[in-house]
Structure 1
Amino acid sequence: MSERVLTPRNRGFLFLDSHPAGCRQLVADMWQDCPAPDHVPSGAGPVALIVGSSAGYGLAATLAGLKRAGIRGIAVSFEKAATDRRTATAGWYRTAATADLARTAGRDLVFLNGDAFSDTMKDRVADLVEQRFGGRLDFLIHSVAAPRRTDPDSGATYASVLKPIGRADRTKTLLFDEQGVPEVREVETEAAGGDDVEQTVAVMGGADWERWIDHLAGRGLLADGFTTAALSYIGSPLTAAIYRQGTIGAAKAHLEATARTLDERLGRTVGGRAVTSVNGAAVTQSSTAIPGIALYTGLLRGVLGDGLVPPIHQLAALWDQFTGAAPLTPDDEGRIRLDTWELADDVQAAVAERWEAATTDTIAGLADLDWFRAHVRRLYGFSVPGVDYGAAVTVDVPWPGQAS
């Protein structure tokens, strides 16, 4: 196994390497931050499938499910191992750390690495549910943010884009130079054209979520009362043109329509439920790619401070609703709203005021830049408190269940 001293190398918000010890500590911190349940789950625990388990809200769903609900089951993600030139992806290291926590907690959680869109992965999961977990699945959380998807039936590959619909959009965005100096700049994103909307919906809409349900139902693996959620985001009017009213927004609308269709079907067939979970803003690897979101999130933190609700707390609340510890309370569109703290009128008014005032000269006094920069670095295992970044670390960490 190779050991290296790792220093962060990045191009904008994208880092070339990840730090295994930092990723492990980050997972441990999330576990510690997750509220303990009023009653410790006993017995084998419900069987859950988390699709997209290694990052962002999917990682929070996995950790909160383990600690809050005592889940067992299967977690699916798509990560890359270390090579001679690069470390493994951050999600690879986070998954290894999550597996150790699950084992310590006495929970049987199997981690699969591969293309969640493929029928091959769906067959692997169905076989595991059938052979290892008693042939019945209680919960499914779908949390996949991907740039492309290959349709298993047609073989066609679709690519998602981040574009407004109807006309080009100009928005403020936040950038940092190589020395970490912030800049507020206006950027223009061209309008969606051709089949951009259809392609993005094919990747980020509800098609794959529904295909998972079809696949598992076809094998007779949905337990009575089976409940499923796809994780989503609505966000602020300040970012609506590029997000909720753009190509990604069209995909989210398709996801919500899929939830309503699945909810009716599951209620009729297994007495189950399907919802979307609308989560609040967070610094994630996918969100930093969206123009304006970095600026908005930094300003939101500047307004709320510690009142910004972390993903692990939001997903703990979702698991409480799933398991009956709290009422399952979807809105009229079938959405569980875990974002009300963000979209409160007074919060949005304060963020909008700061947005208007934000320039390169003023941004340091309006946004919590230290918090934002640290959280971007932590996505890759850097700037995590308690980690000795001067020490050499082993980068060849085995995938859970594989020998070193």
Structure 2
Amino acid sequence: MSLREIKPGNRGYLYVNSHPTGCRAVVDRMWEQAPEPAGDRPGPVALVIGSSAGYGLAATLVGLRAHRMRGLGIAFEAAETERRTAGAGWYRTARTAELAAGAGVDFTFLNGDAFSDAVKDEAVGRLAARFGKVDLLIYSIAAPRRTDPLTGEVHHSVIKPLGTDYRAKTLVFEEGVPRVGELHLQPADEAERDATVQVMGGADWQMWIDALQSKGLLADGFRTVALSYVGSDITAPIYRAGTIGAAKQHLEDTARAINTRLKGTGHAHTVVAGAAVTQASTAIPSIALYTGILHRVTGDRWQGTVDQAADLWRRLTGDAELGLDDRDRIRLDGWEMDPEVQAAVRATWDRVDSDTIAAGADTRWFREEVGRLYGWEVPGVDYGVAAETTVPWPAEVRPTTSASAPSARVNAVSGGAA
């Protein structure tokens, strides 16, 4: 037991401490937002890489609750130390495991560097021993660096434009007061671009497919998806046309390479999600201001990560059309990229300044959403009460409900409709 009175200790959008009670409450809220289960038949066997945060967490919770997904989730989270709490994803994973067990779903979690051969070997071994062939692999990793297991070289990603300088508005908080600042970034060089592709492109995704295929663990009709983003022309210079965009293009190229490797026995897609407040997105310059304006414009039409994960699962199971674009990408971002929405966002973006930001962007909502990523700013949580910070990583415990019935395979169509 380790009861602590915790303080956020944040620097801007980065929090050095997470609140376990708040993280638990966030997961509970996401679980309740997920669709009700359609039945008690065991769902597909899935491997979720990046299951503790962002879209990976949302896809995990929707898969567990609505589709009784079985399998394994992988995350890389820091344990508690004498000075700091465990990472927010550690606490979120612990609660996710409790909810899965309570629902009688057989799903386990592995904490480790998904880029490493050791974690791949352990994950493949666990899946083979406990579940057999895999129906679905969801790849949702955002990382600052990657060690290439083949060469040992450590690659560091950068968020920079390509070709020309980037100058744009950005959202900053001074003593809690929002204002519009100015951002200037120099373009990346070729080495920085290539390193970012190595970290955030499709190389590791391909290695995971190879690892499963080499052990005969790809089910007939296997499907894999990797989460991506396109976004507005407002943020394109720093996102889609920048170093991250180069990595996302490599991810799309990798999907085509995987499809060639699968030879019709399965299919790979990248998934273009809509904007969201995640630990990864807060690191991207200008995205905070853009997202705050987008939320103000869309209002009730805003789709959070759980909404979009539920939409993705409907498409993967054949309950809805895949919704492919001309690049064979599954598009979940129609609500964001609606021409009227983008026109309204652009109009606000062009005129917004520190004097008008309160009317133009949901800055308070954005700041609170960032806090909730770490378990802070969660309604109903008493932050004045000492919290239990020593929470064990989920043990591999089989649920009491039998899961021996045949699985419900993920629909394997590769065309525009399921």
TM-score, normalised with respect to structure 2: 0.93
| Distance (whole Å) between structure 2 residues aligned to residue 258 and residue 99 of structure 1 | 31
Q: Which residue of 2 aligns with 1:104?
A: 102
Amino acid at match of 1:154: T
Q: Check whether the contact 1:69–1:323 (CA below 8 A) recurs between aligned residues.
A: no
Of residues 215-224 and 324-333 in structure 1, the stretch that sits farther from structure 2 once superposed is 324-333
Amino acid at match of 1:307: R
Deviations 1:354-403 (A, max 9, x none): 11111111101101122111101101101111211111111111100189
Return 5+ residue gaps in structure 1 as ranges: none
Amino acid at match of 2:198: A
| Distance (whole Å) between structure 2 residues aligned to residue 161 and residue 151 of structure 1 | 17
Q: Which of 43, 46, 56 pairs up with 1:58? A: 56
Q: Which residue of 2 aligns with 1:171?
A: 168
Q: Which residue of 1 aligns with 2:135?
A: 138
Q: Which residue of 2 aligns with 1:244?
A: 240
Q: Which of 292, 299, 302 pairs up with 2:286? A: 292
Q: Which of 378, 392, 403 pairs up with 1:384? A: 378
SS, match of residue 115 in structure 1: coil
| Distance (whole Å) between structure 2 residues aligned to residue 348 and residue 61 of structure 1 | 26
| Distance (whole Å) between structure 1 residues aligned to residue 138 and residue 390 of structure 2 | 29
Q: Check whether the contact 2:88–2:374 (CA below 8 A) recurs between aligned residues.
A: yes
Q: Which residue of 1 aligns with 2:364?
A: 370
| Distance (whole Å) between structure 2 residues aligned to residue 156 and residue 82 of structure 1 | 28
Q: Which residue of 2 aligns with 1:33?
A: 33
Of residues 188-197 and 140-149 in structure 1, the stretch that sits farther from structure 2 once superposed is 188-197
| Distance (whole Å) between structure 2 residues aligned to residue 113 and residue 236 of structure 1 | 34
| Distance (whole Å) between structure 1 residues aligned to residue 82 and residue 153 of structure 2 | 33
Q: Check whether the contact 2:108–2:396 (CA below 8 A) recurs between aligned residues.
A: no
Deviations 1:78-109 (A, max 9, x none): 00111110011101000001001110111111
CA-CA distance at 1:326 after TM superposition: 2.0
How do residues 107-186 of structure 1 correspond to structure 2 at under 5 angstroms?
107-133=105-131, 135-177=132-174, 179-186=175-182
SS, match of residue 21 in structure 2: helix
| Distance (whole Å) between structure 2 residues aligned to residue 362 and residue 396 of structure 1 | 44
Amino acid at match of 1:201: V
SS, match of residue 234 in structure 2: helix
Q: Which residue of 2 aligns with 1:94?
A: 92
Amino acid at match of 2:371: R
SS, match of residue 309 in structure 1: coil
| Distance (whole Å) between structure 1 residues aligned to residue 235 and residue 323 of structure 2 | 27
Q: Which residue of 2 aligns with 1:49?
A: 47
| Distance (whole Å) between structure 2 residues aligned to residue 115 and residue 398 of structure 1 | 18
| Distance (whole Å) between structure 2 residues aligned to residue 391 and residue 115 of structure 1 | 34
| Distance (whole Å) between structure 1 residues aligned to residue 31 and residue 308 of structure 2 | 13
| Distance (whole Å) between structure 1 residues aligned to residue 359 and residue 104 of structure 2 | 47
Alpha-carbon RMSD: 1.2
Deviations 1:193-246 (A, max 9, x none): 141111110110010001100110011000000000000000110000000000
Amino acid at match of 2:308: Q
CA-CA distance at 1:29 after TM superposition: 0.2
TM-score, normalised with respect to structure 1: 0.96
Q: Which residue of 2 aligns with 1:234?
A: 230
How do residues 283-322 of structure 1 correspond to structure 2 at under 5 angstroms?
283-322=277-316
Q: Which residue of 1 aligns with 2:346?
A: 352
Q: Which residue of 1 aligns with 2:18?
A: 18
CA-CA distance at 1:36 after TM superposition: 2.0
| Distance (whole Å) between structure 2 residues aligned to residue 32 and residue 267 of structure 1 | 39
SS, match of residue 172 in structure 1: strand
Q: 1:232 to 1:105 in 2, by over 3 A?
A: same
How do residues 332-347 of structure 1 correspond to structure 2 at under 5 angstroms?
332-347=326-341
Structure 1 runs (4+) greater than 6 angstroms displaced: none
CA-CA distance at 1:8 after TM superposition: 2.2
| Distance (whole Å) between structure 2 residues aligned to residue 83 and residue 119 of structure 1 | 27
Overall identity of the aligned pairs, in %:
57
Amino acid at match of 1:282: A
Of residues 289-298 and 394-403 in structure 1, the stretch that sits farther from structure 2 once superposed is 394-403
